[in-house]
Structure 1
Amino acid sequence: MTNHQKDPLFILIKSLSKSEKRQFKLYVNRLGVNADAKFLALFNLLDKLNDYDEKEILKQNIVKKQQLSNLKAHLYKQVLISLRMNPVNQNIRTHLREQLDFATILYHKGLYKQSLKILEKAKQQAKDNQEKNIAYEIVEFEKLIETQYITRSIQGRADELAEEAKELSRQNVITSKLSNLSLQLYGIMLKTNYVKSDEEYKEIADYFYSHLPKYELDELDFREKLWLYKAYLWFSFLAQDFLSAYKYSSKLVDLFKENEPMIYLNPVFFLKSNHYLLEALFYVSYKSQFKETLENLEDVIADEKFPKNDNVISLSFLYIYTNKLNLHFMEGTFEEGLSLVDTIMTKLKNHSDRIDKHHVMIFYYKIACLYFGMGDNKNCILYLKKIIDNKNLSMREDLMCFARVLSLVAHYEAGMDYHLEVQLRSTYKFLLKMNDLHEVQKEMIKFLRNLGNIFPQDLKDEFKKLHRRLKKYENHPYEKRAFLYLDIISWLESKIENRPVGTIIKEKAKFLNR
């Protein structure tokens, strides 16, 4: 079995583009080392290998086994240094760090005035670009120099630096508290999922407001507002208050529009903010705004000014194609959506090192829903099986649960009665481990379990009864989200009216042109 996924150096080298590999070799030559240097030979060998194989490396006699670990560490460091020098990886943060390094060198040489001059300029750039942690670090360095070399260039210099440090510290503390709160809410989301009762809502609300720092909105800059809106956004998602999620995700996107340079300095936050807005718009079924937001996002990503590093490219794919699929669900255009499948599968393979398994499974689920919507139940089952059979994946239980429920429905639709019995038993085993089933899920399982006892002539009446039972949950504050995973109401209406489910959804989509 190969273990290339476990070796950081091998993964790093395989992630390099042709130009980055060429630059590394030019960098090595600039070092003046022998072209046959061991770390360069190791680089060339790992570049050629398809999988990391330590036996093959040792067979080449580049290095002895006892020295391999040190050589790999040295090569890893040299590759990173080469990447840092690449203009693609240069941004305001690397520039500021570089200026701080230069100032430190000058300080150690006793050239205090030159060091302070660099620091003053870098500090202003840091403030202008909302890099306040670096700005605070610079001020602290300026204070250190002033204790050893009094410039007397400005009256009250010590007081000025002290006040500057105090204000930056205050802003950094607020940002830290807000970012901590946002991260903790996200952690709660991953651990316990959305609130399912008034009691759970009260617990989350108490936690949120007790950890929310005091602030004056007018005094907050871009960075503080970014984390403030993100904290409110995660609270809204946890509470299943999708209108509130729409409100705060809109504020996030507007924040970037009002501060355009921040889009290019913080491309990941920009992408995520737009994705959150699209997710909220999907939940509230605001189709026209959804389409406009998606088109605007694609335009910005296509702009030559927008960063194009590996991380940004992978996230751009993830968010654009997730929401393209969601748009087809909103419009009921399942057949048209299938044109995306081949591209998605190819890109998932290309970005396999940077997209986690959970998001891959979400793509599989959405593709399965496309096939289900157009009546291709066998392909639907095929993609759901990829989720259900993944025993080594730690994912949100709601996704796994709905995959199993949809699989049951698809087996029924495909007339695979024997397989339905097997699926029912397997699903029951899985559901026994879950303590937080939606009422919608319980009703579906109960209905499917009794299918064998229903006479064919009574089936339509049973569909109508189930439809009435589920309809009352459609706008329930804690149950409505179940219908976003699986539009079981439209499926039941298709069985009652004897029409394709895709046709039902498409007709409903006409009313989503808000």
Structure 2
Amino acid sequence: MAELQKDFLFVLIKSLTTSEKRQFKLYVNRLGINADAKFLLLFSEMDKMKEYDESIILDKKISTKQQLSNLKAHLYKQILVSLRLNPIHQNYRIQLREQLDFANILYQKGLYKQALKILDKTKQTALELDEKSIASEIINLEKVIESQFITRSIEGRAEELIKQSREISKQNHYATELSNLSLKLYSEMLTHGYVKNNEDRSEVMGIFNAQIKNIQFEKLNFTEKLWYFKAHVWKNQLLQEYKYTLKYAYQWVDLFYKNPDMIISHPVWYIKGNTYLLKILFLYGNIDILEESFEKFNQTVSASSFAQNENAQSLVFLTYYNTLMNIHFVKGEFFPGTKLIPEIELKMERFRDKIDEHHFMILYLKMAAMLFGSKKFHESIRYSMKVIESKGNVQEDLLFHTRILILMAQYESGIDEDYDDFIKATLKFAKKMKKPDDFHFESIAFFKKLNDMTPDKQMKLFKEFDKKLEVFSGNEYYRRSLLYIDIHGWVQSKVKSVDVIEIIKEKVKYKRKA
């Protein structure tokens, strides 16, 4: 996102569709007194801007410098109120809370029986949708009404509410413990990355076992099971135990297919579950199951009942194109894969403000790798540099492997004017990494030697490095490093004097037999 576009109000206005803008203007003019309201003038002016420029607002005397902050805050709130009223944003959570608000209003007016009738109906819906937090709020209000007023609503009402309250409290406890565990493991993955040694492994297992031991799976409902599977997926990803990551990612997605109504209620977690499942199937290279799962995902997210909001659609975009490119990688279909690049870049612009920089950089790296496989080495370097020069928060491993891809492309293309300088810069980068390992330094040493050797000695070096990569690939803590860029496949293609596509096709054939 450009610096000038970081104003929250400006970004919100630019995210509005034509119909949403029209509805907003109708909303603020509904009483005929806001036609010249300053916040509406501010909206119109900001809507015209391509980049946010405060001086234009001040020059047109829409507001003074001192008043502008309050005016923007008021406009921001009015836009959100208007969006809340828009049918497209009326999901079941908003509807449940709206009913709870109505019940509160009736309670405050002393219309207790009417309030209880709304609360009872809303509570049943909340429980059916496994929205226990909202159900808990409803029960609390029911208890307030029942304890203050003689409603004579139902015989044994107190016992019923006490039983429901205890049951939901227990379920909320499970959900809290599991969601805390999932968040902690996810934080570990983002902060420290994948485990590099037995010490890291023990630390992760300590965190996991401390909170999972008291959970009885058979007592969990949908939401708790969802958090349970998430925690196991993230734990096994940290440990690089892909067999179990696949197991729990499958159970995560299958939980939704067994409860199809929850796909509509929790579209984001349905997408996320498929993201992990499709990713791990790619890492396994099982193309048949990958394509089958991908087709099922596409059918679901393409249904008219699936969430059409920008958040869900931006996540669908990431999962769809990452998986589509992964399928091309597994099959060695680099040339067809490069044809996706203009289409992906066009959609990247659409979701520029909705997706973090790291995910965009992953897409750019995949584009660069696809171009490398298509022997478009100049283009590969150009797209790789988008990752290297990114000012966003990009993971170290991603940056390092992008550098390796650039060195591979420089070697293949003969563009080696700054090869030695780039080697030095890459070594400097590796030394500054939080947890550099032998793979990083061995890779740099290989490329450093490679450029100064005659072809016959280069072959010897390729063979030596191939053996080292075999050792690395057998070590569970290094295995992850070989998945970003298939440097091993590239080295093997040199040793066997074949195109790298042939190496990939051989791997696919092997996986299909397995």
TM-score, normalised by the number of residues in structure 2: 0.97
Partner of 2:229: 229
Distance 1:138 1:34 in 2: 37
Q: Which residue of 2 is the match for residue 498 of structure 1?
A: 497
Moved more, 292-301 or 125-134: 292-301
> Partners in 1 of 2:54 and 2:453 — Cα distance?
62
Q: Flag the 1:320–1:452 CA change in 2: closer, same or farther, 3 A.
A: closer
AA paired with 1:502?
A: I
Aligned position for 1:330: 330
Q: Following TM superposition, by how much is the alpha carbon of 1:63 offset from its aligned partner in structure 2, in angstroms? A: 2.4
- Residue 245 of structure 1: how far off its partner (Å): 0.5
Which segment drifts farther, 403-412 or 212-221?
212-221
- Identical aligned pairs, as a percentage? 46
5 Å-filtered alignment, 1:421-500, equals 421-500=420-499
Question: How far apart are 1:258 and its partner, in Å?
Answer: 0.7
Listed one character per residue, the Cα deviations across residues 322-379 of structure 1 (whole Å, up to 9, x for unaligned) are 1111111111111110111001111111111011111111111111111111222211
Which residue of structure 1 aligns with residue 39 of structure 2?
39
The letter for the 2-side match of 1:210 is A
Q: Does 1:239 align with 2:272?
A: no
Q: Distance in 2 between matches of 1:215 and 1:491?
A: 46
Instruction: Return the letter of the residue paired with 2:57.
Output: I
Give the AA of the match of 1:479: Y
Could you tell me which residue of structure 2 aligns to residue 135 of structure 1? Answer: 135
Separation in structure 2 between the aligned mates of residue 414 and residue 225 of structure 1, nearest angstrom: 51
Q: Compute the displacement of 1:452 (Å).
A: 4.5
Task: Determine the C-alpha separation between the residues in 2 that align with 1:433 and 1:63.
Answer: 48
Moved more, 438-447 or 128-137: 438-447
Kindly indicate whether residue 376 of structure 2 is the aligned counterpart of residue 376 of structure 1: yes
Letter in 2 for 1:266: H
Give, in angstroms, the shift of residue 171 of structure 1. Answer: 0.4
Offset from partner CA, 1:128-166 (integer Å, 9 cap, x none): 111100000000111111111122332222222122111
Distance 2:3 2:208 in 1: 42
**Separation (CA, whole Å) in 1 of partners of 2:435 and 2:366:** 23
2:387 is matched with which residue?
387
Contact 2:193 2:238 in 1 (8 A): yes
Alignment correspondent of 1:111: 111
Deviates more, 1:283-292 or 1:269-278: 283-292
Task: Determine the C-alpha separation between the residues in 1 that align with 2:313 and 2:211.
Answer: 35
**Root-mean-square deviation over aligned CA pairs:** 1.6
Equivalent residues in 2 for 1:349-428, closer than 5 Å: 349-390=349-390, 392-428=391-427
Q: Which amino acid aligns with 2:60?
A: Q
Which residue of the partner structure matches residue 95 of structure 2?
95
- Residue 385 of structure 1 aligns with an amino acid whose one-letter code is M
Confirm or deny: 8 A CA contact 1:2 1:52 kept in the other structure: no
Partner-residue secondary structure (3-state), 1:214:
coil
Q: Which runs of 5+ in 2 are unaligned?
A: none
Q: Match of 2:460, as an amino acid? A: D
1:117 Cα deviation from its structure 2 partner: 0.8
CA distance in 2, matches of 1:373, 1:453: 24
* 3-state SS of 2:509 partner: helix
**Structure 2 match to 1:268:** 268
Query: After superposition, what is the alpha-carbon deviation per residue over 1:441-496, rounded to whole angstroms, capped at 9, x for unaligned?
Result: 32221111222453332221221121112112223211112221121221112112
Give the letter aligned to residue 499 of structure 1: V
Q: Secondary structure at the match of 1:418?
A: coil
Q: Shift in Å at residue 27 of structure 1?
A: 1.2
**AA of the residue aligned to 1:226:** L
Distance 1:31 1:312, change over 3 A: farther
Residue aligning to 2:165: 165
Match of 2:63 in 1: 63
Does the CA-based 8 Å contact 1:3-1:52 persist in structure 2? no
Contact 2:271 2:319 in 1 (8 A): yes
Partner of 2:508: 509
Moved more, 148-157 or 346-355: 148-157
Instruction: Name 2:255's counterpart in structure 1.
Output: 255
Q: Which residue type is aligned with residue 415 of structure 2?
A: M
Cα displacement (A) at 1:3? 4.9
8 Å Cα contact 2:430-2:441 kept in structure 1: no
2:113 touches 2:153 (CA, 8 Å); kept in 1?
no
Q: Given that residues 411 and 451 in structure 2 are in contact (C-alpha distance below 8 angstroms), is that contact kept between their aligned partners in structure 1?
A: no
In structure 2, what is the equivalent of residue 19 of structure 1?
19
Are the counterparts in 1 of residues 285 and 508 from structure 2 also a CA contact under 8 Å? no
| Aligned: 1:296 with 2:296 | yes
Given that residues 185 and 235 in structure 2 are in contact (C-alpha distance below 8 angstroms), is that contact kept between their aligned partners in structure 1? yes
Question: Quick check: 1:2–1:53 contact (8 Å CA) kept in 2?
Answer: no
Superimposed CA distance per residue, residues 200-252 of structure 1 (whole angstroms, 9 cap, x where no aligned partner): 11111111101225222222111010000000110010000011000001001
Task: Return the letter of the residue paired with 1:486.
Answer: I
Separation (CA, whole Å) in 2 of partners of 1:94 and 1:156: 31
CA 1:461–1:4: 2 relative to 1, 3 Å: closer
